[in-house]
Amino acid sequence: MKIGIYPGSFDPITNGHLDIIERASKICDKVIVAVLENPSKNPMFIIEERVTLIKEVIKSFENVEVDSFSGLLIDYAAKKSANVIVKGLRAVSDFEYEFQMALMNRKLSPELETIFLMTSSQNSYLSSSVVKEVARFGGCIEGLVPQPIVKAILKKL
Considering the candidates 17, 30, 50, 132, report the single residue annotated as catalytic.
17
Active site residue 68: no
Contact 129, 109 (CB under 8 A): no
Active site residue 136: no
Considering the candidates 55, 80, 90, 106, report the single residue annotated as catalytic.
90
Of 134, 148, 143, 124, nearest in space to 20 by CA: 124
Annotated binding site: 9-10, 17, 41, 73, 87-90, 98, 123-129
Annotated binding site for substrate: 9, 41, 73, 87
81 φ/ψ sector (left φ>0, alpha ψ -120 to 50, else beta): left
Annotated binding site for ATP: 9-10, 17, 88-90, 98, 123-129
Active site residue 90: yes
Considering the candidates 41, 136, 151, 156, report the single residue annotated as catalytic.
41
Contact 39, 64 (CB under 8 A): no
Dihedrals phi, psi of 87, to nearest 5 degrees = -130, 135
Contact 143, 15 (CB under 8 A): yes
Q: How far apart are CA 111 and CA 102, in angstroms?
A: 12
Considering the candidates 25, 30, 50, 128, report the single residue annotated as catalytic.
128
Residues with active-site annotation: 17, 41, 90, 128
